[in-house]
Structure 1
Amino acid sequence: MSPRTGRCRVSIGETLAQARHRSGLSVAQVSEQTRIRPPIIYRIEADDYSMCGGDFYARGDIREIAEVVGTDPEPLIDEYDRAYRAAGPVAATSLDELLERSEPQWHRRPGFLLVFGVAAVLIVLAFVGYRMMLAPQPGPSGVSVAANANATQAGTGAAGRPDGARSARATTGEHPSAPASGAPGSSPAPAPSSSGTPSPAQAPSHAMAMVSAAAFGPHGGMGTGDDPQNAHLAIDGVRGTAWRTDWYTTPRFGNLYSGTGLVVDMGRPVTVTAVRVTLGPAAGANFQIRVGDQPSLAGMPPAARSAGPGGMVRLTLASPARGRYVMVWFTKLPPDPAGTYRADIYGIAVKGQP
């Protein structure tokens, strides 16, 4: 029941909890993707926002959780503003209290407020004009922005730490856009459908639960690749654990194999629109994202490619791919500190629709 209107409705916390269950995600998995601590998620699902630290942070947490579990955050934030938000600007409570206690009496005089308001408007206008003067002019159409797209796809940030870009996203609430067309190491984003009916790529996508992971070798198939006993570490949701390939004397597997990889079983056929792979910090890995219903190279055609970046790599498929299995297939390995070559996968996330 809404605390202000008295009408019965599904609360914010109930909506988020139901969406999480529909997505097949646990609280730990939502925490791993949003970097919001599990106790806070449990409290939010119970409509208790006391641990969020104020309206500003509560609204941000609601938005982060809603986007991961695949529900629209805007109605939930509107409901929060109606039911819970304190009067005045959205800000951290502690900051409001400090400003209220420290505000001098002369600051409240009407004459001072008028002068202060005029000065603030002039400063804003001067700043906007300065930024407009410095704004770059648009270049000729058709120019490739490969460098920017490659940087967006890599998303490593934070001094090469595999989880650095994920932490930065959770802190700021920003979400990287899809790589630009023509960028090396990624597939272009799909063009909008010309018809009135939305294409599969335009349908809402969300993170999907993964059932299991298995090492994949070029000759023996599932379970026969490198480090098979630790394949599950790539999807366990635990920060710092990883599946690793064997070490090789050259980036091309010592000329012994054509590649090596890791297969994720989604448990049922799904439509895949994007994949996020968290590698080690070293650059130099080339890999493909393959999707299909048969756990074999022939049964999983390539759907996207990455060439070079380390850390967190986000790939948006040029067109949605349908299949039960999603594979990260390495065709080139990055160097390691020992002078050999090997790749690490600290995490995999698959977005799409069931």
Structure 2
Amino acid sequence: MTQDRSVFDALQALAPQRSDQDLTAARAMFDDLMEQEDKVRALPVPRTPRAVHRLRPRTLVASAALVAAGVIVGIALPFNSPQAPLPASFMGARPAAADELKQCGTHPDDSRRNLPESEWAAHPESESLRVGLNSMQVLDHPLLATWRPECTAQPVAVFFDGSNGAGLTVYRDVADPFSTASGLSTVAVRGTDGQVLTPPSGFHFLTWQESGVRWLVEAGGVSTSGLLDLVDALDLDPSGGFSPPEGFSSAQLPVLTDARTPGYVWSVQYGPGGVEEEQPDGGTKEVVLAGYAFVEARTPAMDPVEADLARRPGVQLVRFDGRNASYFPQEQGGAGLRWIEGSTTYRLVVAGADLDQLLQIARGLTPVGDDGTGVSR
């Protein structure tokens, strides 16, 4: 394994001066990892599409050993290694009580569980979510999942300035939203120290504590200094009734009756197809789409669509049949639309569709069967 040793030695040269004990531990770990990899490499590999890139390059293994032993502290490995010194990341808004609930995990999505189709009939309360597009072919079998609303914090206020694409989403009594303190900026906010994280997308996540209660604000469309000025001016009344900052409006929050009642998510992906679009002369014509669509329905709704201004780039608020909807011109997979009806949040993504087509397709969602097609109820 002469070549492997040279990889280790080259990475070691990048490290600052370390004790012989650290280097010995790193090399021992590296040797052990190499022996395990040799055993795995000798195993037969099934010839399936999923058996691609099953082994990591040995350079990464050498990096892992050096990082784990504390020899190199500045290399961030490009895979999910528990030893990698990763900067802070936003873990989502979770209630403070979620830390005591084993089913919640460390991220709101950790409570999600996909249900096998054999169990769907045992969840009749999810049937109203099963909507789709009869005009398109199903790409993959639909998914039905449960999730626990008690593991996701609901905002106490959402402020938005639609004309300038700015938004503030305020949470009270939340768990620490960051994975680590590394890379966070300490700022003065509301007479105390707070921490703020600003990812490359330009959005901000600000947290601080008042009277033993942790607050969290997600913000978009404002600078860090502008955010601090806005938060300093807020009247954070624990009993509610928050007034919006100057230039902002307050969004109506969805009503959550019981966070302990399980929630559901229905989703289905579609392939090439078309929809009928009304013409000025009263007729219709079929509009052939670019080949992909995604439909999701989730209940209960936790935050209004205006909250998307505080967490997604390029979001626009549009009117959709008398309500606000958030429009994503460049959503993953195509243009996207999110809206709320009753206690259900809907999300639609269609490749190649403009806003008018997206709205027309959204109006055409119909109840579908368990396979994502037809009307079975």
Coarse TM-score class (shorter-chain normalised): under 0.3
In the superposition, the TM-score normalised over structure 1's length comes to 0.24
Compare the two structures and name the one with the higher helix fraction. Answer: 1
Q: Which has the higher strand share?
A: 2
